[in-house]
Structure 1
Amino acid sequence: MESVEISLKKGKLTFLWLALMGGIIFMGWWFLTSGQEANVSGLRLFHIAMGTLLLLIAATILPFGLRLVSKTPGLIIDKNGLTDHSATWQNGFVAWSDIKAIEVAQPEQTAMMFIVLFDPEKYLQSRTKIRRVLASTGDRFGYPSAFGIVVGNLNIEFDELVKVVEQYWGDYHQRSNVSRNSTEEVSV
């Protein structure tokens, strides 16, 4: 079987990123230029500090926009596993042999696919501390796994994605003669 590459929906994300960057840069420029006529040195210092802070925030957000022009697919599914690049906090590669179950949910009109792993700590250890903390927040919301794929970011219908993942996961288990749990729907 060949691999399936699913691209990201870039239109809405690009618009949001451009609007955010434009707003932050405009506010930073406004703070830097409007503080010049202030007679109070504290107010002038505040304007300069706020302008500089906003421009630093814009520089921090810049890499997220660079992802929008990247040719990397949002999700790659092949005979070895799946590689998720669909969100800011990417899951990366997950081997079929490490997947215990795949659960689907649609909380608040957002279709999500959760990858339940035999040993999630193995994957969490390879992440930065901030990414580990963010991944663990799913427990508080009742998500079945810290590894979720938001289907709304991908150029594929939810049902079609479930079908493709089920097919590849099933093929892996047939090749390896290992039993597997079925994909089940969960309420979140």
Structure 2
Amino acid sequence: MNQDANGINEIPLSKIKMIMLLIGSVLFVAAGIWFIKNPEIFRRSPTLITIIGYLSIVFFGIGVLFIVNKLFDTRPGFVIDANGIVDNSSMFSVGFIPWADITGLSIIHVNRQKLIMVKVEDVEGYIHRQPNALARRTASMNYRMYGSPVSISAVTLKCSFEDLYRMIDNGWKASGFAK
């Protein structure tokens, strides 16, 4: 984390965390290929195993592409300043969120992963800001399930989840927009 004289916190992407995620994703792609080539060795339906194999290849293959792209990204993973936050940490990042758009923060747990849900004023606007159909669908699903289309994780950042949440919360309160 780098804080400059103007109070801007820049949190870099963690190359080590991303390499670990890359290794895991590659292993799941390899497992998907193995499932497709050897579905008959499982007790379950070979058709189901083959489908799982294809889904694993597609899902984790997209992850591999994203991670490789992020490994060469020189921009900070997350920025907190007087104007708001800039999320560049994940495939579903929304970019800049001004403090005035934020109506609340909460923490949720999904499969042993902590996420910061950033509640925003213009929900539909943030859903439609997403760059592709998959990201819009994910944002819409997040809104229905967790009350916000914007979720932030520290998984790819060079900081702990607790530090990230504290910095966002403190920045939001300092902005004067926190209720």
Please report how far the alpha carbon of residue 6 of structure 1 lies from its aligned counterpart in structure 2 after TM superposition.
0.9
User: In structure 2, which of residues 160, 164, 172 is the aligned counterpart of residue 157 of structure 1?
Assistant: 160
- Residue-pair matches, total: 147
Unaligned runs of 5+ in 2: 1-5, 34-56
Please report how far the alpha carbon of residue 99 of structure 1 lies from its aligned counterpart in structure 2 after TM superposition.
0.5
Who is 1:137 aligned against?
Answer: 141
Contact 1:111 1:152 in 2 (8 A): no
* One-letter amino acid matched to 2:142: G
Please report how far the alpha carbon of residue 58 of structure 1 lies from its aligned counterpart in structure 2 after TM superposition.
6.9
Q: Which has the larger radius of gyration?
A: 1
Could you tell me the TM-score, scaled by structure 1's length? Answer: 0.65
3-state SS of 2:146 partner = coil
Please report how far the alpha carbon of residue 75 of structure 1 lies from its aligned counterpart in structure 2 after TM superposition.
0.7
Who is 1:75 aligned against?
Answer: 78
Contact 2:118 2:151 in 1 (8 A): yes
* One-letter amino acid matched to 2:104: A
Who is 2:120 aligned against?
Answer: 117
Residues 5 and 144 (structure 1), Cα distance of their counterparts in 2 relative to 1, 3 Å cut: same
After superposition, residues 24-103 of structure 1 pair within 5 angstroms as: 61-62=64-65, 64-103=67-106
User: In structure 1, which of residues 10, 19, 28 is the aligned counterpart of residue 15 of structure 2?
Assistant: 10
Unaligned runs of 5+ in 1: 29-53, 182-188
Residues 2 and 134 (structure 1), Cα distance of their counterparts in 2 relative to 1, 3 Å cut: same
What is the percentage of aligned positions where both structures have the same residue? 24
Deviations for 1:62-106, whole angstroms, at most 9, x for unmatched residues? Answer: 454021122211111111010111111212110000111111223
* One-letter amino acid matched to 1:132: R
* One-letter amino acid matched to 1:121: E
1:59 and 1:87 mapped to 2: Cα distance?
12
- Is 1:126 the counterpart of 2:129? The answer is yes
Please report how far the alpha carbon of residue 23 of structure 1 lies from its aligned counterpart in structure 2 after TM superposition.
8.7
Could you tell me the TM-score, scaled by structure 2's length? Answer: 0.68
1:153 and 1:60 mapped to 2: Cα distance?
12
